[in-house]
A and B are shown apart, each in its own frame.
Chain A
Amino acid sequence: MDNPIEMILEFFILFLLIGGGVLSYFFYNAVQEIKVLRNALGKLSDSFAELDEQAKMIVKTDLELNKTQEELDKRLNGLDALQKTSRLISTTLDENEVFRRLNQFPLNELGFEKILVYTLDENNQLFPRIYLGYSKAEHTDITTKVGTNAKLMELLGDGNMVSSYKSAPELQTEIFEMTNVRHFVLTPILAQDKMIGIIFVGNPGDAFAVTEGDTELISILADQIGQAVENARLFEQAFRAQQESEAKVQERTKQLSRALTDVQEVSRNKSEFISAVSHELRTPLTSIKGYAALLIAGQIGDIPDKVKDRLEKINKHSDNLVKLINDLLDISKIESGKIEMKLTPHQIPPMVENVHDLLTPQMKEKNINFINEVPASCPPLPTDMNQIERVFINLINNAIKFTPVEGTIKVSAVVDTDEVTFAVSDSGIGIKKEDLPRLFNEFYRIENEINQNVKGTGLGLALCKKIIEAHKGRIWIESEFEHGATFYFTLPRNIKK
């Protein structure tokens, strides 16, 4: 080594060469690594880009899904709310109650923030029923604006719906200016194709735009309210008519009651008059009969036969007159309650047999066949024996009168739980239909050949009716002209209070 400086220089050059080589190696490696990293970064970037693309697809799908889900939820909520409102308002027939219930119901479940419901009053003016989401001042202002908009009211009156979903933009703007609500449905409430009110629903926020489903929902709600109001109004009309009718019935009842009182008064006067006259007649009649009897008996001296005949006629007619007066007095007493029925249990079959025995001579005269079918098992009935016997006598006597020779008279009874029904039938000439209703009237006598020949007072059946009614029973007749007649009467098994 000659020169140390050279040596150092050579060493330095060598060092530089080696260092350069090493550096080059490292640089090369670094470049390669950067390449790899850049490559990886590129791949990562691609992955991110792919991730973002996927994210976009997810967002798109998610948006669609959410939109559908939201609409579905809204529809379900709306239908749910509709079902509830329907149940609420269909169970009342009071118009005010319909709206009171709607007011209490969370109507915003229908999906609207603002709700106005009006009915039209008798002057066709809007009458607010529900106003949700508006102050009183606000809804009053809207009421005036909508109510005075003739064009809009006419449109609604024709049954048209106006909505932000599909109405003309200028109409939408008009509604917005009135209500300050951008998304809305305005629809008439119809009853029998006539507008009886309107519904307005809406949402001010853009997040809740009106959909086709909303318009359908509100249309159904309007129908529901229309139906409920119509039902309520019909019921109100029917109720009023019924009230008027009831008032008329009450007035008529009062009139009839007054008339009945008058009739009862007249009847009472008549009974009293008959009673008084009968009493007055009976006393002199008794004297006439007494004197006639004395004369006939010859106690005053012998009388010629012709006079005797006349006196016997006087006696006979006096007897008829006494019977007539007694019947009249009895009817009068029963009507006025002066005769009290002494109701004690009595066996009816023996009573019928007694009457049969009593009337046997008359029946023999006409060779009438008498059949007694009153069962022996007929229970004892609470009756006034003399009076009921009188009824049987009257009815059987009557039957004898109208039954031809060799005819049949039958007495029968049907025992029921509460009462026994007796029937006295004959095979006589029967009664014309037009005579039946008046048969039990006092002094009424059917105009026929028999009656013309046989004398009677026309009081027998009237008396029977009074006696039976005094026993709380009923009496009636069934007959067909020329086919006999059957008189029925009932007697209660127990005393009715």
Chain B
Amino acid sequence: MSTYIGIGFSRDPDAAKAAQDAADQAKQNLHASSIDIAIVLNTSHYNPADFLPIIYNQLKKTRLIGSSTAAILLGERIEERGIAILLLYSDDIRFETGGVENMHLQDLAAAGSQLAASCISSDYGQDHRKLLLFFADGLIQDLSRFISGMSKTLKGTFPVIGAGSSDNFQFKKTHQYFNNTVLTFGACGVLLGGRLQVGTSCRHGWRPLGKPRFVNQFENNLIKEIDHKPAAMIYQEYFEDTTETLKASSLAHLNARYPLGTPLGAGREYLLRNIINTLEDDSIVLQDSIPDGKPIHLMIGNKESCLQAAELAALEVKSQLQGRTPKLIFVFESMARYRILGRSANTELQNIRKILGPEVPLYGMYSFGEIFTHSSANGQETLLQNESIIITAIC
């Protein structure tokens, strides 16, 4: 009884050749005659129409999910240009995939429910479900409704991890892949069930800065007033600049370092929210909604706090695995962290592997929004986070 893992990567500038090379490498590294599933990641330098059919055919039409990303995490390497393919074959794990598209044209909760339903349509049932991993268009606002629809359908007590597909920091266009299809405003996922153990953790390392503030007027992810002032004023106050200047100098860039945060449960953990737009009336649009009635803070993080958070997450995963060595590590990490960590980004991956096993393959991406199932006194809740790192290990 075994699980086989094969990873291939190519940075050839020609998309077709890169796809071919990566698929060949992955197959060669898999050391198995069959493939259960392929997880494809690519940077935005490649047009999916040029490489996806090649990969799909090269892998003999095996089930496939995937996403575009700002950079690919491979072991301790960070590849800012290339196509990566992870192949899995297992005697112990059962994989069920699903995909939805055109989510912007439909009710997001229904779309979430649809994705979840397709992932559990033919599995062995609730007891066998161990992990749902999915990619969703990170540029879709208010993904909470999608997540909520998905959670209701899954009704599970197993972890859900997700990554918002990203591009090259342009925030213009992302891609998701389901088999041979490039999804538009889509989501795709895989449910892992059967004989496997999962350890997973999500951390960010940001801490609150300044006084707590309260949202007075909001509508889903649109925040109109904070402390009875136009919402964007909070940044104006801290950065001592006009909102116009802040807008011009890319508020999105600033808020990646200084997102808004609201307490998560009763602990010291905070739910972070990126601002994705500032409107004419100085209202701010967050990537997702925030819980009602809780104080919000401007948050601050730095390299050290990011590295520390990643180490804590890795240690938590390790403790969940109860001494077992993982076979594969998935890392979904906020692209904002990549910018903050800079040259230390590799150190973060090295630290994770030091804790979880230097020989264990690590596969992941920089995401625009991280989705994770948090446990609290009220049970489990799957939430979209920003500036976070999700580390998941399976064995």
Interface residues of A (CB under 8 A from B): 48-49, 51-52, 54-56, 58-60, 62-63, 66, 69-70, 73-74, 76-77, 103-104, 106, 108-109, 113, 130, 132-133, 135, 204-208
- Say how far B101's CB is from chain A's closest CB, in angstroms: 23
Partner of A113, one of B168, B238, B240, B298: B168
Contact present for A56 and B211 (CB under 8 Å): no
- CB-defined contacts of B211 to chain A, threshold 8 Å: 48-49, 51-52, 55
- CB-defined contacts of B45 to chain A, threshold 8 Å: 108, 132-133
Contact present for A52 and B343 (CB under 8 Å): no
Q: Is B270 an interface residue (CB 8 A)?
A: no
- Give the contact stretch, choosing among B217-225, B250-258, B322-330: B250-258
Contact present for B80 and A52 (CB under 8 Å): no
Contact present for B209 and A55 (CB under 8 Å): yes
- Say how far A70's CB is from chain B's closest CB, in angstroms: 7
CA A130 to CA B12, docked complex, whole Å:
12
Q: Is B182 an interface residue (CB 8 A)?
A: no
Q: Is B302 an interface residue (CB 8 A)?
A: yes
- CB-defined contacts of B12 to chain A, threshold 8 Å: 104
Q: Would A104 and B81 be within 8 Å (CB), given that A135-B47, A208-B169 are in contact?
A: no
CA A207 to CA B303, docked complex, whole Å:
19
Contact present for B13 and A77 (CB under 8 Å): no
Contact present for B209 and A206 (CB under 8 Å): no
Q: Is B281 an interface residue (CB 8 A)?
A: no
Q: Which residue of B lies closest to A133 (CB)?
A: B45
Contact present for B239 and A59 (CB under 8 Å): yes
Which 7 residue pairs of A and B lie closest in terms of their CB atoms, listed nearest first? A55-B210, A73-B342, A48-B211, A207-B253, A52-B210, A55-B209, A206-B250
Interface residues of B in 329-370 (CB under 8 A from A): 339-340, 342-343
CA A62 to CA B258, docked complex, whole Å:
10
- CB-defined contacts of B321 to chain A, threshold 8 Å: none
Q: Would A108 and B81 be within 8 Å (CB), given that A204-B170, A207-B169 are in contact?
A: yes
Contact present for A106 and B342 (CB under 8 Å): no
Interface residues of B (CB under 8 A from A): 11-13, 45, 47, 79-82, 168-170, 209-211, 237-240, 249-250, 252-253, 257-258, 298, 300, 302-303, 339-340, 342-343
- Say how far B107's CB is from chain A's closest CB, in angstroms: 32
- Say how far B172's CB is from chain A's closest CB, in angstroms: 9
Contact present for A106 and B11 (CB under 8 Å): yes
Contact present for B240 and A56 (CB under 8 Å): yes
Partner of B80, one of A108, A135, A206: A108
Contact present for A52 and B302 (CB under 8 Å): no
Q: Would A73 and B170 be within 8 Å (CB), given that A103-B13, A106-B79, A206-B250 are in contact?
A: no
- Say how far A269's CB is from chain B's closest CB, in angstroms: 68
- CB-defined contacts of B342 to chain A, threshold 8 Å: 69-70, 73-74, 77
- CB-defined contacts of A73 to chain B, threshold 8 Å: 342-343
Contact present for B209 and A59 (CB under 8 Å): yes
Partner of A56, one of B11, B168, B237: B237
Q: What are 11 A-B contacts defined by CB distance under 8 Å?
A: A52-B237, A52-B238, A56-B237, A56-B238, A58-B209, A59-B239, A73-B342, A77-B343, A108-B80, A133-B45, A207-B250
Contact present for A109 and B80 (CB under 8 Å): yes
A63-B239, A205-B170 given; 18 more Cβ-contact pairs under 8 Å:
A49-B211, A52-B211, A52-B237, A55-B210, A55-B298, A56-B240, A58-B209, A59-B298, A59-B300, A62-B257, A66-B302, A70-B339, A104-B11, A106-B80, A132-B81, A205-B168, A207-B169, A208-B169
Contact present for A62 and B300 (CB under 8 Å): yes
Q: Which residue of A lies closest to B301 (CB)?
A: A62
CA A60 to CA B11, docked complex, whole Å:
39
Contact present for A76 and B343 (CB under 8 Å): yes
- CB-defined contacts of A55 to chain B, threshold 8 Å: 209-211, 238, 298
- CB-defined contacts of A74 to chain B, threshold 8 Å: 342
- Say how far B353's CB is from chain A's closest CB, in angstroms: 21
- Say how far A45's CB is from chain B's closest CB, in angstroms: 9
Contact present for A206 and B253 (CB under 8 Å): yes
- Say how far B347's CB is from chain A's closest CB, in angstroms: 12
- CB-defined contacts of A106 to chain B, threshold 8 Å: 11, 79-82
- CB-defined contacts of B252 to chain A, threshold 8 Å: 207
Q: Which residue of A lies closest to B47 (CB)?
A: A135
Q: Would A59 and B258 be within 8 Å (CB), given that A106-B79, A206-B250, A207-B169 are in contact?
A: yes
- Say how far A76's CB is from chain B's closest CB, in angstroms: 6
Q: Which residue of B lies closest to A44 (CB)?
A: B211
- CB-defined contacts of B258 to chain A, threshold 8 Å: 59
CA A208 to CA B338, docked complex, whole Å:
14
CA A205 to CA B249, docked complex, whole Å:
11
- Say how far A79's CB is from chain B's closest CB, in angstroms: 11
Q: Which residue of A lies closest to B302 (CB)?
A: A62
Which residue, of A52, A77, A135, has the highest number of chain B Cβ atoms within 10 A?
A52
- CB-defined contacts of B168 to chain A, threshold 8 Å: 113, 205
Q: Which residue of A lies closest to B298 (CB)?
A: A55
- CB-defined contacts of A58 to chain B, threshold 8 Å: 209, 300
CA A9 to CA B12, docked complex, whole Å:
104
CA A109 to CA B343, docked complex, whole Å:
11
- Say how far A90's CB is from chain B's closest CB, in angstroms: 21
- Say how far B71's CB is from chain A's closest CB, in angstroms: 9
Q: Which residue of B lies closest to A45 (CB)?
A: B211
Q: Which residue of B lies closest to A66 (CB)?
A: B257
- Say how far A129's CB is from chain B's closest CB, in angstroms: 11
Q: Which residue of A lies closest to B249 (CB)?
A: A206
Q: Which residue of A lies closest to B43 (CB)?
A: A108
- Say how far B184's CB is from chain A's closest CB, in angstroms: 19
- CB-defined contacts of A60 to chain B, threshold 8 Å: 240
- Say how far B168's CB is from chain A's closest CB, in angstroms: 6
- CB-defined contacts of B253 to chain A, threshold 8 Å: 206-207
CA A449 to CA B253, docked complex, whole Å:
108
- CB-defined contacts of B302 to chain A, threshold 8 Å: 62, 66
- CB-defined contacts of A59 to chain B, threshold 8 Å: 209, 238-239, 258, 298, 300
- Say how far B338's CB is from chain A's closest CB, in angstroms: 11
- Say how far B244's CB is from chain A's closest CB, in angstroms: 14
CA A132 to CA B12, docked complex, whole Å:
11
CA A56 to CA B13, docked complex, whole Å:
45
CA A113 to CA B44, docked complex, whole Å:
10
CA A76 to CA B346, docked complex, whole Å:
14
- Say how far B61's CB is from chain A's closest CB, in angstroms: 27
Q: Would A132 and B169 be within 8 Å (CB), given that A56-B240, A66-B257 are in contact?
A: no
CA A314 to CA B23, docked complex, whole Å:
104
Q: Which residue of A lies closest to B342 (CB)?
A: A73
Contact present for A205 and B343 (CB under 8 Å): no
Q: Which residue of B lies closest to A134 (CB)?
A: B45
- Say how far A238's CB is from chain B's closest CB, in angstroms: 31
- Say how far B210's CB is from chain A's closest CB, in angstroms: 3
Q: Which residue of B lies closest to A109 (CB)?
A: B80
- CB-defined contacts of A76 to chain B, threshold 8 Å: 343
Q: Which residue of A lies closest to B297 (CB)?
A: A55
- CB-defined contacts of A132 to chain B, threshold 8 Å: 13, 45, 81
CA A380 to CA B387, docked complex, whole Å:
95
- Say how far B261's CB is from chain A's closest CB, in angstroms: 13
Q: Which residue of B lies closest to A49 (CB)?
A: B211
Partner of B210, one of A51, A77, A108, A204: A51
